[in-house]
Amino acid sequence: MRDLHSHLLFGIDDGCKNIEESVKIIKKASEQGISDLMITPHYIENSKYACKNKEKYERLNQLKEELKRKNININLYLGNEIYITRNILELLKNEEIHTLHDSRYLLIEFPFSNMLADTKEILYELVRAGYVPIIAHPERYRIFQKHPQHIEEYLRMGVLLQGNYMSLYGKYGKDAKKLLKYYLKNHWISFLGSDCHHETNFKIKSLQRKLKHFLKNDKVIKDLLENNFLKVINNEEIGIRR
């Protein structure tokens, strides 16, 4: 598996507190079959989670050196999970936030309860500027749990979706589990990620069995777990299945 969403860069957000914890969890990820990790620390404007790109790179390089020293073979890439704000384009221009591995793809987080009134306008401006927003864990947002079909407005804009596969295990409640299954069956999810903060069990083998049980399509599963990740880091086009 290649994991598009994780919080394993130490000392930046609510993920790993120190480099030792980062190394411990990444070692577990590698042992369980994850070959590539996108490191996506939270960026929430005007909060304590607003680390700039320069410091992220410094910490990522420290982490890579420590993994190399301990012979832990895994590929790390840098991005952000960006809490939606009206000036994302300005933050990109000022190099305060990071696309996924310097690609056109951006991982965007919404408020869990109430949408910003101009959410669609913000995403439209990003698309018009040449970016591809990826909505992180849409199954967890109350608006989509109440109105699952509302996500189609975003898909028509060219926005992609990344589900947290731990939703399938009930981690975020029965509504999130039900909605992620629904979106997967409709082929609206382009990526599955761990959203790992401190966990050490990535459940990769059981995940593949679980997906086979209700998707019954090896190509779709491979796209979700591997191929679309590679398209992101190579900055290639990803289509939405219909």
The whole-number pLDDT of residue 131 equals 98
Q: For residue 47, with 0-12 CB atoms within 10 Å meaning exposed, 13-18 middle and 19 or more buried, which class applies?
A: exposed
Beta bridge partners of 196: 6
pLDDT by position in tens, the chain (length 242): 999 999 999 999 999 999 999 999 999 999 999 999 999 999 999 999 999 899 999 999 999 999 999 999 999 999 999 999 999 999 999 999 999 999 999 999 999 988 888 999 999 999 999 999 999 999 999 999 999 999 999 999 999 999 999 999 999 999 999 999 999 999 999 999 999 999 999 999 999 999 999 899 999 999 999 999 999 999 999 977 65
Domains of the chain by residue range: 2-233
- What is the DSSP code (8-state) at residue 200? -
The whole-number pLDDT of residue 241 equals 61
The whole-number pLDDT of residue 115 equals 85
Paired tokens of 226: 């591997």
3-state helix vs strand vs coil in the chain, percent to 5:
45, 15, 40
**Dihedral sign of CA atoms 110, 50, 104, 8 in order:** negative
Alpha-carbon distance of 211 to 209, in angstroms, equals 5
pTM assigned to the model: 0.96
The fold adopted by the segment(s) 2-233 is: TIM Barrel (3.20.20)
For 93, other C-beta atoms within 10 Å of its C-beta total: 10
Task: Say how far residue 206 (Cα) sits from the centre of its chain.
Answer: 20
